[in-house]
Chains A and B, each alone.
Chain A
Amino acid sequence: QKEVEQDPGPLSVPEGAIVSLNCTYSNSAFQYFMWYRQYSRKGPELLMYTYSSGNKEDGRFTAQVDKSSKYISLFIRDSQPSDSATYLCAMSAPSGTYKYIFGTGTRLKVLA
């Protein structure tokens, strides 16, 4: 079993739709949960970061962590064509090395 599982997609939605992206994980030591956005032929950029459980909102983006279910989500409201990218979840345990385990990434396409 992979430590982090993420549906690779692709996911196509119309402009304005609410998008839900998810990851599951198996390592209960993970405390830091991140979502990175990666445009084609570019490096990943941090989108959202959450420590332990709970929700975090930033504009049109909401990150949720449910540690009891080992499940994290990223919601995008009012999706735009500029949101078309690959979204990678990443997690790390408090080891002092800040090593991340990444999901495979979900490719999202928002249609105008």
Chain B
Amino acid sequence: NAGVTQTPKFRILKIGQSMTLQCTQDMNHNYMYWYRQDPGMGLKLIYYSVGAGITDKGEVPNGYNVSRSTTEDFPLRLELAAPSQTSVYFCASNPGQGNTEAFFGQGTRLTVV
């Protein structure tokens, strides 16, 4: 099993550009999450999904969109990149059913200039 795979690992965007951060998991987990991590701020939940076709907002959803057309994939879309979106983005998945361990990807380091 590859676990949770995120691409790309690094990206530099110009203000106003758009991009999609890819996340895929091969563990057949229903629950998937997107977090951002800023220095000294811990992990903040952006969006989450409890299954294919179902998504919901987390603590900091503004400026982002998600979709969940399959169990495996949970892409995060930035439409109009802003410097405030410079961060490290982590995707995670959880099998649910009483198992509370979330498995994280290796992160995408995004800089908006």
Contact = CB atoms under 8 A, between A and B. Distances in A.
B100 A102 contact: no
Contact of A99 (B4, B45, B101): B45
Given A6-B42, A88-B43, A99 B58 contact: yes
B40 A98 contact: no
Contacts of B107: 41-43
Contacts of A1: none
A43 B106 contact: yes
Nearest to A96: B50
Interface string A82-93: 000000101010
Given A46-B101, A49-B100, A97-B31, A105 B106 contact: no
A45 B107 CA distance: 12
A43 B40 contact: no
B42 A103 contact: yes
A8 interface: yes
A81 interface: no
Contacts of B74: none
Interface in A35-86: 41-46, 49
Nearest to B3: A43
B41 interface: yes
Contact of A92 (B40, B50, B100, B109): B100
Interface string A25-42: 000000010100000011
A6 B42 CA distance: 9
Interface in B55-104: 56, 58, 90, 92, 94, 96, 100-102, 104
Interface of A: 4, 6, 8, 32, 34, 41-46, 49, 88, 90, 92, 96-100, 102-105
Top-6 shortest CB links A-B: A43-B104, A104-B42, A102-B43, A102-B42, A98-B94, A46-B101
14 contacts: A43-B104, A43-B105, A43-B106, A44-B90, A46-B101, A46-B102, A97-B50, A98-B31, A98-B94, A98-B102, A99-B48, A100-B102, A103-B42, A104-B40
